[in-house]
Amino acid sequence: MKTPTFFILLSVLFIFTPAIQSENHSVASWYGGGEKLNKYTANGEVFNSNTLTCASWNHAFNEKLKVTNAINGKSVIVRVNDRGPAKRLGRTIDLTKAAFSKIANPGKGLAFVKIKKI
């Protein structure tokens, strides 16, 4: 009997997620689909998913952050111009689709990252 791919992937995530989080890594997601189209960010700017910006509760507006993917080492510098992500989701930062694309595949939706203030 073959084990479904889903259960293998779930097992890998279960094993590696605590190890990655214990190294002070955060979970990043991306936002900017139709729900945010032509709306304003929390600091009053018009939202643009093609800019290298992010939403964070833990950093001041206009603060620049270096966000590095903990798995592949790719990084991007973003500017905080919005608030989020939804606190109940357990994520630390929301990147625009353009910013997320620099460090991970948006199709995956989430990435383990290290965030450093610049």
User: What does the pLDDT read at residue 69?
Assistant: 97
Q: What is the rounded average pLDDT of the residues 14-32? A: 67
Task: Name the more confident of 88 and 42.
Answer: 42
Which of 36, 46, 29 is CA-nearest to residue 95? 29
Q: What is the rounded average pLDDT of the residues 74-99? A: 93
Of 2-6, 17-21, 23-27, 53-57, the range with the highest mean pLDDT is 53-57
Dihedral (CA of 117, 48, 94, 98) sign: negative
User: What does the pLDDT read at residue 23?
Assistant: 55
CATH top class, domain 25-117: mainly beta
Domain ranges, ordered by start, for the chain: 25-117
User: What does the pLDDT read at residue 43?
Assistant: 95
